[in-house]
Structure 1
């Protein structure tokens, strides 16, 4: 994930300017339209803004989902049809917004972050929702398959979604986005567990790089997911006429999920910090083991160096009886070797008894 992923206009640009930034790897734009009541349901897979206009004045609940990164023209047309505020539309185009709730006349504008994981790579997409009296307009660049559970429930005549108003649809979509944090954190948990086992077995430079990578991802995830608790709390306690009492009960459950996500995230942050300490301790212990072995070897050779140094002195034994008489012994050379081997054996025995190696 990028450290700075916000798209913005040049400083001094008038507020509400709809100017789309170039998006690398963005999906093609597609509009999904759903219109339903307790007894009816219709779905247009690839709708256009003109078709959306036909459904706006109905008493049914209408859900318009824009998949991919919208163009300036498409978002301007949708804004005119649904009466979306230009400041909110600007936030839709300029991704990287902090999760928030804004109120514009009879509309609620909600921005949340959608985490996802592909293999070992993590990413966060922005999801925006407009809640009106009978409609929800959502924008998200990720694949629409994420919201298929909601579509499946809409296809069931007896589902709770079909019996409630647009605010319950908004809750259902927010619940999916927030619950996406659990599989992401589950993957992070597996990676932390594998990394912990690797640290305890052996350490290397790649281990340190992986620790820093996970710490960075956790920091970025926290920055992007932490404000979502405030968003749900604002919906629960704000004076919004668009949110019914019946939906408040389910939003409280959604708020609990945000707390669980943050608790797991904070736990994993602490674990990653402790892993760095474990890594540094392992490196220090390994260095101590190496130094201990080298010290033992050097200590063993100290008396041997002393012995050969003494008998390496150039004294003439014929000049006097005290000038190294053992140099003239018949078995002097083997005795010196026996002395040195005995010194080594005694020192190794003593070191092992003391547990030094």
Structure 2
């Protein structure tokens, strides 16, 4: 016996992590314990150094041993990008070199951390989610990016190489705009702005797919369409989890008063807050639209089922009197006068035909089909 096909096919819905992973490995450990909660995505930890001023720019890969010299001979602004969080020993050395608080490093290694901003000792800590579309299919890659902002220094921590900061690197290399004339706080703003801009790209793709799903639901609603709509709703839930806390982060960033953030970039931070608000409004609109699509698809399928049931009911209603007549004259009694009529068979067939036509005309008059 063949198995019944599930209403929502599991193989058609790629897995999306909506809930924290590997939290059990931290149970019972003291605060500040360095435990990486994600998956190993690259073999070795890589460090990229970018330092610049108005007249100078350099970008290169460096080793862990070169980091102390970077602090001694850095230019106006230094950006250190650390890719790979699985090597705890290497991350511990980096923590000691830059005097990073153990609680901050614990948050950096907890890749399911809620996006937030904190002022810790002599630096500003920011944690956000970077969202990109996978090269194949419609799945999304959600990666945590952590930032440390110090005077003339920005440190980023990522799970693997590859990000959405290439436009910022291009502006630095080609000295586009005033980015090389400003400080590290403006660099942090530019990096955060690149992540926010990538949200628009991701949501634009989801919006296009939702439009296609609307047409598919109207023209040919089925289990596959339901699966695709449900998958898009799961994606929107994952994006919502990553984006909603950013509004709070932008507000804290705007209100922060200290040596880390200058008054000159406050207008840019206001623009960042407005972009985050726009992303959230767009996300809410897509969530409502996907819910409406799901209801539309279910209603169309329900309407199709009702049409099928209506046709079957009409057919059953037509055959009820015919079955009654056939049952009556199928009884084996001798005293049935109609059985001895010469044309009785044709009379019964004619009566049955008149009954069928009468019921069809009545159903048509009632507009039941």
Q: Same fold (TM over 0.5)?
A: yes
| CA distance 1:39–1:25, change in 2 (3 Å) | closer
Deviation at 1:314, TM superposition (A): 4.0
User: Could you say which residue in structure 2 is the equivalent of 1:329?
Assistant: 341
Distance 1:142 1:243 in 2: 28
User: Could you say which residue in structure 1 is the equivalent of 2:32?
Assistant: 16
User: Could you say which residue in structure 1 is the equivalent of 2:165?
Assistant: 147
| CA distance 1:314–1:14, change in 2 (3 Å) | closer
Q: Does 1:348 align with 2:360?
A: yes
Contact 1:27–1:69, Cα closer than 8 Å, also in 2: no
Matches within 5 A, 1:32-43: 32-43=48-59
Q: Does 1:226 align with 2:244?
A: yes
Matches within 5 A, 1:71-90: 71-90=87-106
Distance 2:75 2:301 in 1: 68
Compute the TM-score of the two structures, normalised by the length of structure 2: 0.87
| CA distance 1:196–1:28, change in 2 (3 Å) | farther
| CA displacement, residues 141-167 of structure 1 (integer Å, 9 cap, x when unaligned) | 243352111111111235311110110
**The structure with more radius of gyration:** 1
User: Could you say which residue in structure 2 is the equivalent of 1:182?
Assistant: 200
Distance 2:297 2:76 in 1: 59
Distance 2:55 2:86 in 1: 32
Runs of 5+ consecutive residues of structure 1 not aligned to the other structure: 318-322
Contact 1:36–1:42, Cα closer than 8 Å, also in 2: yes
Q: What secondary structure is seen at the aligned counterpart in 2 of 1:155?
A: helix
Which 10-residue stretch deviates more, 172-181 or 63-72?
63-72
Runs of 5+ consecutive residues of structure 2 not aligned to the other structure: 1-15
Please provide the CA RMSD for this pair: 2.2
Deviation at 1:93, TM superposition (A): 1.6
Distance 1:255 1:26 in 2: 33
Distance 1:156 1:248 in 2: 25
Which 10-residue stretch deviates more, 254-263 or 69-78?
69-78
| CA distance 1:61–1:24, change in 2 (3 Å) | closer
User: Could you say which residue in structure 2 is the equivalent of 1:212?
Assistant: 230
Distance 1:311 1:203 in 2: 47
Contact 1:56–1:135, Cα closer than 8 Å, also in 2: no
Distance 2:294 2:189 in 1: 39
Matches within 5 A, 1:236-251: 236-251=254-269
Deviation at 1:48, TM superposition (A): 1.6
User: Could you say which residue in structure 1 is the equivalent of 2:8?
Assistant: none
Deviation at 1:355, TM superposition (A): 1.9
| CA displacement, residues 133-187 of structure 1 (integer Å, 9 cap, x when unaligned) | 0110111124335211111111123531111011000001111112221122122
| CA displacement, residues 212-235 of structure 1 (integer Å, 9 cap, x when unaligned) | 333232222212211011111110
Find 1:3's aligned residue among 18, 22, 37. Answer: 18
Distance 1:328 1:309 in 2: 18
Q: Does 1:53 align with 2:68?
A: yes
Deviation at 1:21, TM superposition (A): 5.1
Q: How many residues align?
A: 350
Compute the TM-score of the two structures, normalised by the length of structure 1: 0.90
